[in-house]
Structure 1
């Protein structure tokens, strides 16, 4: 087991420096471990050898984003052949099943493992079991519960690479709940902002850091993180967005930065890759990014395509935000009845995952649609200033760029808040504004 999850150092998010024992030397990329030829050493156990070969093949196909049905079959075969005792087969198979959105199979396996004697006695086994349970819960619902499981898992004696994955998934979960400062403190607590610190698993950590910066409205920094993540995944032959999403959020950042061509290109690539893989949540989130990147009549069509796909999936992550964005788009089209229904869908999805931040945000959206104020559209000047504020510029910087006084900026922002029924600057990140005509 230690050959598959070797002890290793940590790495630095700022310096894009991959350690010598990086996954680039692995047979296949797998979050949390470096899979080398030693995985095939099964000490004369023919079934275990076959199980591990099946597990590695499962990850190879999943990373490429092809043959999803075969991936699921190989994952189940690996679990059966290993007699549900081998930790490596368990980790590989569980990841593959989560990529395939086979959450029912994952839950069944977690239940079986919890009753097995080896999983009760070994602290390492319990820690990995908790980590998979936390990830599954974070994807399907119950964000506070997932956070507690992540915390418990991190207290277990996990190998450094798995601890890093646990921290990254914790960060993403905190960001989903709007606890951005806590997420940043967690990374700081574990030394990820210290000079010279090395990351074992760049894709996982950069995706988490990108999500953190995106939630904080630091779009340039977020885009850089996601592009680094994508470069690393490409180097490891990982093209499936179900493994780690990076193109869609990078597209969202590009849209916020008004880099429309880049945003559209990234979203279109993600749609193609997600459709090839065939999991509804991945495809739905890709169509969401495509909708946001478009500025024509296809926007609404892409939103509806995303909604149809997401309804098929048990993966709830990001759905509250999707329905909120769709509702806001419909509001801007003056389709207030449909917008109200979408805000209610956002509120419901937030309740399913126990996300109080988005419950409150969506509820305000419902009230905004009911209010006569919601019928007031933003002027061109208000749109421009709101967009600059969303990019993180101060009022003084906006005033200089727009050639107006600071008091004028403040008055325009006050009008924007009133018309959009939001209470603070940070809420602009969740209000889709119509594109401005200026560069």
Structure 2
């Protein structure tokens, strides 16, 4: 097998291709040949080595020290781009004086990326005294005279963040849109830069800038997110959460009121984590006809902790199944004219299962409810029982009809007394199941 070392006249292009070989011996031979050429002052060989040491090759790992060495050699050989790249490497190594000096030289050679780097160093005073106005002027001139896309992105960011100049979304948008054709050219060459261009335009439009050519913020943000821009993805996720939140609030407003027990009621809920659970009991001693008796009441107290650190307690029957450290939505119901209520439902946001706390809505709010329908229902049931007794003793058809009528009336009156209460709880259960993931966030 012949190698490049056996043919000193092999072109740099051929050696560069051989350097990308997965065979270690082939790659090593190409590297040695390119090093020899670079040491002799061949700029193309230097460039091939810088690229390989920066990104790595199948049989050649990245090597930042050698990348720096041959970048400096190319810069010394007169390559303006490598002068900029040397400044770039020095900047990220925090060698600001060296970076400033080399960026200044590359800027004088009209390397757009060097102008952008130099302006950013002038803004921050890195390797020099801070000169924000000079930096802004440099960026603006580079955008206007050389269509410098790197400078346009930096300048737009400064306008959006209000650094050194007042926040000016319209100026940011106009700066970017003025180079729309230039950014279209680099869309497939430098996707991160194009994604940033789309995101910054979206940011400007959302901040109040007037768009051109029918551009709106959401499609631009979606395009940037599709290209992998992290801030664009975060903005879209936040927007989707806001949209979902508004829809959820509208849905809740449509179901939170109902009529039952002769009154009008309002529901609200609190999302919290079950922090503690305590067993409680109470003994009652009484007597009937001189006979002493003891009864014991048992219940559990659930302590819930909300995100802001506040806590509240709910009493539940001792057999209620709940899981500590799990997220729950606790439903409260109170009079429609008030702002407080009593807990009436505890829904597990992980499983959708629910338990009902101890107590009764009508008993907690005697002044807000009416027992007329309940009393009538009881009387109807008693009437039905009496009618059945008459029917059995006298075998009267009229008594049978009366019993049936009173029985139906008792059922309907009892149902009317509870009104929409049970249906309201079912709708709330469905609501919590539908929005469980969003409520936990």
State the TM-score bracket (shorter-chain normalisation). Answer: 0.3 to 0.5
Of structures 1 and 2, the one scoring higher in RCO (CA 8 A, sep 6+) is 1
Larger radius of gyration: 2
Relative to its length, the structure with more strand (as a share) is 2
Q: TM-score, normalised by structure 2?
A: 0.37
TM-score normalized by structure 1? 0.37
Please identify which structure carries the higher helix content. 1
